[in-house]
């Protein structure tokens, strides 16, 4: 089954991210890049697609207003930085609501949801290791009005700084305007452990644990009293 899709978003980087994710999935075919809703309406007047990746905050015509103009809309996955419109989206029968930045795993879940049949396996599956060299887990994080691709294996630890979060990598660090709890939703539970209200560590990079401190590279991370049982689980 070929899945024909268009991207409707006024940010070029958003198109790049979605196209990159779709390139890792079989049978996904990009039909058109639309940078505002008017372009999308003109394309859909003479063409049909199976799926729309739709941004909400666009010039000329907002995403949901555009959706209301379609008499027979295809499946829609919303991709936006604004979580407050989620309820309205589901009232318009969208398939899923992805908050930017979203991981490949979260993206894959949305596409599978769009084309999942209760009696069959998902039509879109992750690429098989034997056929694809690119198997590194990665996410896109927004920092200073741009999206930065981060390989999860390179993350040493994460530190909360109020409404900001600092991600410390092997070679650099990135600060994003996002709370640590929101970022944790993008991370696999089996690889990242919250050890303090202000710190999440990558278990694979723990060098040693001494008392209430974790040593990762040259950093010393405190262990909070409420999180000590998680460290005991590692030791046991």
pLDDT score of 198: 95
Confidence of residue 228 (pLDDT cuts 50, 70, 90): confident
Q: How many whole angstroms separate alpha carbon 60 and alpha carbon 48? A: 22
pLDDT score of 167: 94
pLDDT score of 66: 93
Q: Mean of the pLDDT values across residues 25-54?
A: 94
Asked if the model's pLDDT at residue 152 lies above 80, the reply is yes
Asked if the model's pLDDT at residue 27 lies above 80, the reply is yes
pLDDT score of 89: 67
Highest mean pLDDT among 67-71, 80-84, 127-131, 142-146: 67-71
Domains of the chain with bracketed CATH: 3-114 (3.40.50.2300), 152-235 (2.40.50.1020)
Confidence of residue 123 (pLDDT cuts 50, 70, 90): very low
Average pLDDT, the chain: 84
pLDDT score of 129: 40
pLDDT score of 147: 74
Of 45-49, 133-137, 194-198, which range is least confident? 133-137
Confidence of residue 151 (pLDDT cuts 50, 70, 90): confident
192: number of Cβ within 10 Å: 20
Of 8-12, 141-145, 217-221, 225-229, which range is least confident? 141-145
**Contact between residue 192 and residue 206 where contact means Cβ atoms under 8 Å apart:** no
pLDDT score of 53: 97
Confidence of residue 134 (pLDDT cuts 50, 70, 90): very low
Highest mean pLDDT among 35-39, 90-94, 115-119: 35-39
Q: What DSSP character marks residue 212? A: T
Phi then psi for residue 91, to 5 deg, are -65, -25
Q: How many whole angstroms separate alpha carbon 21 and alpha carbon 148? A: 14
The SS3 call for residue 167 is strand
pLDDT score of 127: 44
Q: Mean of the pLDDT values across residues 136-157?
A: 80
Asked if the model's pLDDT at residue 172 lies above 60, the reply is yes
Can you list the positions of beta strands (E) in 81-181? 96-99, 138-143, 146-151, 155-161, 164-169, 173-176
């Amino acid at each position: 089954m070929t899945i024909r899709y268009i991207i409707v978003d006024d940010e070029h980087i958003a198109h790049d991210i979605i196209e990159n994710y779709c390139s890792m999935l079989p049978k996904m075919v990009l039909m058109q890049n639309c940078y505002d809703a008017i372009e999308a309406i003109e394309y859909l007047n003479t063409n049909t697609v199976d799926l729309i990746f739709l941004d909400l905050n666009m010039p000329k015509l907002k995403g949901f207003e555009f959706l209301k103009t379609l008499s027979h809309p295809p499946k829609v996955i919303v991709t936006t930085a604004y979580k407050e419109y989620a309820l309205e989206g589901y009232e318009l029968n969208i398939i899923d609501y992805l908050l930017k930045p979203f991981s490949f795993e979260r993206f894959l879940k949305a596409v599978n949801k769009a084309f999942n049949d209760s009696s069959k396996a998902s039509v879109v599956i992750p690429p098989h290791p034997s056929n694809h060299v690119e198997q590194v887990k990665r996410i896109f994080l927004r920092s200073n009005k741009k999206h930065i691709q981060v390989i999860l294996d390179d993350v040493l630890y994460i530190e909360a700084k109020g409404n900001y979060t600092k991600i410390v990598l092997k070679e650099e660090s990135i600060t994003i305007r996002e709370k640590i709890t929101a970022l944790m939703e993008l991370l696999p539970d089996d690889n990242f452990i919250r050890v303090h209200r202000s710190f999440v560590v990558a278990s694979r990079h723990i060098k040693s644990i001494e008392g209430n401190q974790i040593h990762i590279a040259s950093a010393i991370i405190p262990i909070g009293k409420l999180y000590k049982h998680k460290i005991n689980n590692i030791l046991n």
